[in-house]
Structure 1
Amino acid sequence: MTGGAVRTTALAIGPDGPERVGHHLPEEVPVALSYDGTTHAVMLASPTDLEDFALGFSLSEGIVEAPGQIGRIERVDHPEGIEMRMWLAPGLGARLMVRRRAMAGPVGCGLCGIDSLREAARPLPPLPPGGLRLGADDVGRAMAALARAQPLHDATRAMHAAGFWTQAEGLVAAREDVGRHNALDKLTGALARAGRDASGGAVVVTSRVSIELIQKAVLARAPVLIAVSAPTSRAVAAAEATGLTLIARARGAGFDIHTHPDRIELTEVPHDA
């Protein structure tokens, strides 16, 4: 396998004694994101779909508001890693320098190196109420569709994925990465490059839900976020405040709705105890 995974061997210890086995391991590469010749962030990421990643990161971080505000994206490979060079529309570079912050850190941290704690609680545009309605069965269908679209995870058992699902189209797009934040940025970039946002369906992720994933989903205009694992309390509060329907622990036919259950059609809703 090439692109995102490498072949290696390990000594497996089992009931029949040690044996040499082969594995595919996910690649983890430093990816520098630079604007107008200045590095803004260095993230550890999978070296796949990096143009989607660069665009999605730029949108979710508020560096640009539309794909057309990036004039060009160029990949440059270095011995130490990969640089994604972007050139901004006139005027945006000066604004970026005002709010520039360092973000070098491990894939598990979305706020590493942050200069201002205010960025952790940055205001988010509220989502319009109503709109999308999903059936309870749709939640399981969306998760099952994403599970079938993870070739790197199937090979390595060590990748995250983010997907976009609609009732009419099924799984529209999916992206994988060693970092859950990176996977969602890649998905956002892929949708933007296709000329659409996530307002007509649900974003589906294979991870726990932290505040950063809520921020990225809301900025992608997704009305529903479905996750296989649990959310943090801060994530639930942010989802409630912005009008996002947050569904967690989605496994098989079961799931928890933490916020705004009106978008999910249920046969009966119990009263609070």
Structure 2
Amino acid sequence: MSLPPVSRVVAGRPLAEEVPVALVFNGTTQAAMMATPADIEDFATGFALTEGLAAREEIGEVEVITQPNGLEARLWLPEERAAALAARRRAMAGPVGCGLCGIDSLEQAVRPLPRLAAGTLSLSTAEATSALDALRQLQPLHDETRAVHAAGFWHPDSGVTLAREDVGRHNALDKLIGALLRSGAEVSTGALIVTSRLSVEMVQKAVMAGAPLLVSVSAPTAHAVRLAEEAGLTLVSRAGGRLTAFSHAHRFSEDAHAG
């Protein structure tokens, strides 16, 4: 199977493609997700980090294998990670709307998160508005299909420098984080900008990647705000047209500037 992100036109409309993607670590499938068949190496790399399967320095090359019914992304992690692999093993064919579907235990769904360093990075209203608008310009698949989410990385010196798209909001974020890791970028030096609601798994992934700010056009859930408060993550939303900080608002203000 080898499909582009768009492979069909129905009733005059291009349709976003989604295929099963098996994420295989040390020979064992940890997740089977429905995803857009692009940037799979980034996807697997980001997933390994944000799901706590490996530290950044433990993630090596990703081999993508085309199978009759989908794609396999294969990684090999240090053997001492075997226990973590077993603890986080998923048995899922995940619907695109839920990043937690199929988790084997309730404990894993609400796993403890590390506490982010305070840092000096801050974001003004103008910068957040500019970042959200810039991300909108980096969504070619959305422009073609109107059916995908996006995640982008904003840096105080260069604006939004990188973006990834996927039918799943959490997949798009994993792809972005994986792309940042593969490029050698430091996620802690910027903000993650997304087009989806700020749900629990989006907060978990941002914190695991070390991002101090997560900004979206959509609103957070109540539990996402609780997790962000505990982990030291700043959540900012433009839901309803007005930018609002829901947690750790010291990093976000009208007069703030990135430092």
What TM-score range do you get, normalising by the shorter chain?
over 0.9
Q: Which one has a bigger Cα radius of gyration? A: 1
| 1:261 aligns with one of 249, 254, 259 | 249
Please, what TM-score do these two structures have when normalized by structure 1?
A: 0.88
Query: Partner of 1:61 in structure 2?
Result: 51
Which residue does 2:121 correspond to in 1? Answer: 132
Larger mean CA deviation between 227-236 and 107-116 belongs to: 107-116
TM-score w.r.t. the length of structure 2 is 0.93
Deviations 1:124-145 (A, max 9, x none): 1111224102221001000011
Aligned AA (2:189): G
Q: Which residue of structure 1 lines up, in the alignment, with residue 99 of structure 2?
A: 110
CA offset at residue 98 of structure 1? 4.2
Name the SS of the counterpart of 2:76 in structure 1: strand
Alignment RMSD, CA only? 1.7
Q: Any unmatched runs of 5+ in structure 2?
A: none
Q: What code does the residue aligned with 1:150 have?
A: Q
Structure with greater helix percent: 2
Match for residue 40 of structure 1? 30
Alignment partner, residue 8 of structure 1: 9
User: Which whole-Å CA distance do the structure 2 matches of 1:7 and 1:251 have between them?
Assistant: 34
SS in 2 for 1:175: strand
Alpha-carbon distance, 1:267 to partner: 5.4
AA matched with 2:232: G
> Is the Cα contact below 8 Å between 1:124 and 1:242 reproduced in 2?
yes
Deviant stretches of 4+, over 4 Å: none
**Number of aligned residue pairs:** 254
Preserved contact between residue 153 and residue 190 of structure 2 (Cα < 8 Å): yes
Residue of structure 2 in register with 1:230 after alignment: 219
Distance 1:47 1:184 in 2: 15
Give the whole-Å Cα distance in 2 for the aligned partners of 1:196 and 1:265.
Answer: 26
- The letter of the residue matching 2:30 is H
Q: Which structure has more strand as a fraction of its residues?
A: 1
Between the aligned partners of 2:49 and 2:169, the Cα distance in structure 1 is 16
Higher mean C-alpha displacement, 152-161 vs 259-268:
259-268
Aligned: 1:50 with 2:40: yes
Closer, same or farther: CA 72–139 of 1 in aligned 2, 3 Å: closer
Q: Which runs of 5+ in 1 are unaligned?
A: 11-21, 269-273
Structure 1 pair 9–98 and aligned structure 2 pair: CA distance change class (3 A): closer
Deviation at 1:95, TM superposition (A): 3.8
Code of the residue aligned with 1:60 in structure 2: it is T
Report what 1:174 is aligned to.
163
| CA-CA distance at 1:82 after TM superposition | 0.5
**How far did 1:25 drift?**
0.6
Cα distance in 1 for residues equivalent to 2:236 and 2:61: 36
Question: Cα distance 1:172–1:251, how it changes in 2: closer, same or farther (>3 A)?
Answer: farther
Moved more, 36-45 or 156-165: 36-45
Deviations 1:144-174 (A, max 9, x none): 1100000000000111000000121111210
Q: Measure, in 1, the Cα distance between the counterparts of 2:199 and 2:127.
A: 23
